[in-house]
A and B are shown apart, each in its own frame.
Chain A
Amino acid sequence: MTGSRIAAIIGKDLREFSRNRFFVFITLLVLVAYVAVFWFLPDSVDETVRIGVSNSVLSTDVGGVTESGTAGFALEIYASEEELQTAVEEGRDGIVAGIAFPPDFFESAAAGETPTVRLLIPAGLPPEIQLLLEGAVSEIAFGVAGVAPPVDPITEAVVLGTDRAGNQISLREQMLPMILIMVLMVETFALSSLIAVEVQQRTVVAILATPVRIVDFLAAKGIFGVGLALSEVVLLGLLIGAFAVNAPAVFVILLLGAVLVTGFGMIAGSYGRDFMGTLLVSMLFMIPLMIPAFGALFPGSSPTWVKVLPTYGLVEALIDVTADGESWSQIAPSLLLLAAWGLAAFAAGAFILKRRVATL
């Protein structure tokens, strides 16, 4: 294996890739689109339910609910029921529903009467919010009657894990690994197309008729694939701020991710008979490889079958560093898993491509 031969093949691939100016232009355009979409996403999480209340009956702490509300629950006071209804209908001040207390609510309740409270519910209100409203009204009534709650889950709750109240991971932060992985996946297809063309047009046979050996060819394809995927994903990462925390760790994760997708690109390129065939084989790889990234958007731990997918370590390591700011030692298990999958995919890709070339 000689560096000059490998460099010559890489140079040829690079010229071939950049010759199609339209392709290069659109690749850059898609990068810009990804960046625009990323910065368009909300960077904070609103974890407060805002409720409108008519007639300011809540001037004192009643049943744990006050005018200022409580964590996760805010109140907007309106002078009249009509004003409240209009606000609910228009979604004014961010309120999702309203509670219309009668003006004599306290007097009636204190006198042992049963006052009537109206809940103003817009269409599509999640049922759990209605449960919250009914519970809040009930607790206010209990508070007026002086009936203490038998248990107090509001103030005596035990928080397990890192308490993210007020500091939730935003949709933008959640999407960061997914956007990076999507770009890596797309590069799987770009590399597989280049290899497929080489195989279909049998230019590889011409190349191997020169002093270039198969190992030079495989090394060149591997380096070009990793370089292509890595340069694009690093550029995107810089533009969306992926390197803000522990940049060396993010770079290593993306490098291993590029090795992983290059392996799959070589496999897809070896099997694709034409453009559409290559696209289909690439899609067969891309869809399962995207699942861990989609899974990261959902709360909770991933199912076991997701954990065995090759990109699981990539997604975990990226999230742990970019969202949770974890250190090298903390991400080591995910990194090792990713490295193992990357090497396995790359070795499999090189082996399959070598066999494919041997059949030409």
Chain B
Amino acid sequence: MNVHRAWDVCARELKLSPRSPLVFFAIAMPLLITFLVSSVFGSLFDVSPELAIVDLGDSVVTAAAVELEGIETTVITDASTLRQRVEEHDFDAGIVLPAGFDADVAAGGHPDLEFYVSGESLASTRIILAVTTLELVRGVEGSDPSVTVIVTPVGDQDFVPISDRFLPLMVIYAVMVAAMFLPAASLVDERENRTLDAVLVTPTRMSEVLVGKGAYAVALAVILGIVTLALNGALAGQPLTMTLILFVGSVMLMLMGLALGLWARDITTMYTAIKAGGIIIFLPVIFTLFPGLPQWIPKLVPTYYFLQPIYDVAIHGHTFMDVVPELLVAVAICAALVPLVAWVARRSEHQLAMTV
């Protein structure tokens, strides 16, 4: 194989990339997914009870409620808006504190407290907000319960918040589009437009075309993977380790992409195959999101062996040596894919020769 010719193919891919919608797609997708996960899906699963307060008398309850951790408190100016927004479930509950509320409570009175709950709020959320409201009012009353409460952490403290568990999803998107979709689409496109035939009548061989396209895809995927990790603050101070893991993962997906691009007879078939096979590639992501599911299942999927090391380094603070076993499996999978790609390439070359 001639390295110069492979480099020429790679340089041609680079030169054509600004015109390719797929490259735009590959670059925009990690940014979009990062935005969606951080702003939308993170809050979908980490929903805190939401309390609205109308304070007609500058009560200390309002200030204390705003400071509460775990409850989103919003101050609203009028009671009718509060009732309307609670009814629409913009808030789980709302309280209206009348003027002179604090003084009345401090004097031992039982003032009227309008406490509204949304019909759509969960029963557990209602009780949390009711008990919390009661405790805030107890604070105004100035009485302390005669009990000492000690908080004791128990069990495995290695808990991963849901927002962190989305990390593999973002990484797989960044890497898959660039490493797998890009070379596959490029090969199919070249075969459909017969430009691959034109290239192969020159001294350039199929292996050099594949190496050139693959190198470009891997380089782009690694860069996008690093950018995605950096955007999410997940480089964990180990950029070299992350780069190496991303490199292995990108090579794995690139080899799958080349095999797919050589096998698919047209772009629709390729797109459909990715649509169907995507669930297998994404399987480890689902199991990271839901750790209660049996964790042996994702180990049957090749992408697990680079997604898990990234997750372990970024979230659990593992070092390179800790993730070597998984990474070795990933390298072995890459090695096993090479003969497959070579076989599909020979078959494809044969078909091209027959159609020229």
* Contact status of A72 and B86, CB under 8 A, knowing A115-B148, A118-B150, A121-B154: no
Contact A150 B138 (CB under 8 A): yes
Residues of B within 8 A of A145 (CB): 145-146
Contact B268 A193 (CB under 8 A): yes
Contact with A along B4-23 (1 / 0, CB 8 A): 00000000000000001110
Contact A71 B123 (CB under 8 A): yes
Q: Which of B220-279 contact A (CB under 8 A)?
A: 267-269, 271-273, 275-276, 279
Which of B21, B124, B129 is close to A276, meaning CB atoms less than 8 Å apart? Answer: B21
Contact B123 A48 (CB under 8 A): yes
Contact A129 B110 (CB under 8 A): no
> Cβ of A358 < 8 Å from any Cβ of B?
no
* Contact status of A276 and B20, CB under 8 A, knowing A26-B273, A131-B128: yes
Contact B150 A117 (CB under 8 A): yes
Contact B148 A116 (CB under 8 A): yes
Q: Chain A nearest CB: distance from B238 CB in Å? A: 24
Contact A120 B137 (CB under 8 A): no
Q: In the complex the two chains form, what is the Cα distance from A11 to B50 in whole Å?
A: 55
Q: In the complex the two chains form, what is the Cα distance from A192 to B46 in whole Å?
A: 38
Q: In the complex the two chains form, what is the Cα distance from A218 to B20 in whole Å?
A: 30
> Cβ of B153 < 8 Å from any Cβ of A?
yes
> Cβ of B349 < 8 Å from any Cβ of A?
no
Chain A contact surface mostly: mixed
Residues of A within 8 A of B95 (CB): 153
Q: Which of A75-99 contact B (CB under 8 A)?
A: 85, 88-90, 98
> Cβ of B197 < 8 Å from any Cβ of A?
no
Q: In the complex the two chains form, what is the Cα distance from A287 to B29 in whole Å?
A: 11
Question: Which of B113-121, B168-176, B333-341 makes up part of the contact surface?
Answer: B113-121
Question: Which of B157-165, B296-304, B316-324 makes up part of the contact surface?
Answer: B157-165
Most chain B CB within 10 A, of A90, A116, A135, is at A135
Contact with B along A122-149 (1 / 0, CB 8 A): 1110111111101111111110010101
Contact A33 B279 (CB under 8 A): yes
CB nearest to A136 among chain B residues: B131
Residues of A within 8 A of B130 (CB): 153-154, 157
> Cβ of B351 < 8 Å from any Cβ of A?
no
Q: In the complex the two chains form, what is the Cα distance from A159 to B189 in whole Å?
A: 60
Question: Which of A222-230, A237-245, A277-285, A327-335 makes up part of the contact surface?
Answer: A277-285
Contact B275 A72 (CB under 8 A): no
* Contact status of A126 and B89, CB under 8 A, knowing A73-B127, A142-B145, A145-B146: no
Contact B70 A30 (CB under 8 A): no
Question: Which of A249-257, A296-304, A312-320, A346-354 makes up part of the contact surface?
Answer: A296-304
Q: Chain A nearest CB: distance from B65 CB in Å? A: 11
Which of B83, B161, B268 is close to A124, meaning CB atoms less than 8 Å apart? Answer: B161
Contact A135 B131 (CB under 8 A): yes
> Cβ of A70 < 8 Å from any Cβ of B?
yes
Contact A138 B135 (CB under 8 A): yes
Q: In the complex the two chains form, what is the Cα distance from A27 to B95 in whole Å?
A: 51
Q: Chain B nearest CB: distance from A195 CB in Å? A: 14
Contact A160 B117 (CB under 8 A): yes
Q: In the complex the two chains form, what is the Cα distance from A206 to B287 in whole Å?
A: 52
Residues of A within 8 A of B118 (CB): 159-161
> Cβ of A168 < 8 Å from any Cβ of B?
yes
Contact A283 B120 (CB under 8 A): no
Contact A114 B146 (CB under 8 A): yes
Q: In the complex the two chains form, what is the Cα distance from A90 to B21 in whole Å?
A: 50
Q: Chain A nearest CB: distance from B155 CB in Å? A: 4
Contact B25 A283 (CB under 8 A): yes
Most chain B CB within 10 A, of A115, A159, A274, A287, is at A159
CB nearest to B186 among chain A residues: A276
> Cβ of B326 < 8 Å from any Cβ of A?
no
Contact B71 A131 (CB under 8 A): yes
Contact B276 A29 (CB under 8 A): yes
Residues of A within 8 A of B87 (CB): 160-161
* Contact status of A112 and B152, CB under 8 A, knowing A153-B115, A283-B25: no
Contact B123 A166 (CB under 8 A): yes
Contact A156 B268 (CB under 8 A): no
Residues of B within 8 A of A23 (CB): 268-269, 272
Q: In the complex the two chains form, what is the Cα distance from A287 to B36 in whole Å?
A: 11
Residues of A within 8 A of B189 (CB): 274-276
Q: In the complex the two chains form, what is the Cα distance from A323 to B43 in whole Å?
A: 23
Residues of B within 8 A of A48 (CB): 123-124
The 9 closest A-B pairs by CB, nearest first: A127-B70, A72-B123, A124-B159, A161-B119, A123-B159, A128-B70, A141-B145, A135-B131, A47-B122
Chain A residues within CB distance 8 Å of chain B? 20, 22-23, 26-27, 29-30, 33, 45, 47-49, 70-73, 85, 88-90, 98, 109, 112-124, 126-132, 134-142, 145, 147, 149-154, 156-166, 168-169, 193, 274-277, 279-280, 283, 287, 294, 297-301
Chain B residues within CB distance 8 Å of chain A? 20-22, 24-25, 32, 40, 43-44, 47-49, 68-71, 83, 85-93, 95, 105, 108-111, 113-135, 137-138, 140-141, 143, 145-161, 185, 189, 267-269, 271-273, 275-276, 279
Can you spell out 24 A-B residue pairs with CB atoms less than 8 angstroms apart? A47-B122, A47-B125, A48-B123, A88-B154, A89-B155, A109-B147, A118-B150, A123-B155, A124-B160, A128-B48, A131-B131, A135-B132, A138-B149, A147-B143, A150-B111, A157-B93, A158-B114, A165-B122, A166-B123, A193-B268, A280-B24, A298-B43, A299-B90, A300-B90
Q: 9 other contacts beyond A128-B48, A140-B147, A151-B115, with CB at 8 A cut-off?
A: A116-B150, A130-B70, A131-B71, A134-B149, A135-B135, A150-B108, A151-B134, A164-B119, A279-B21
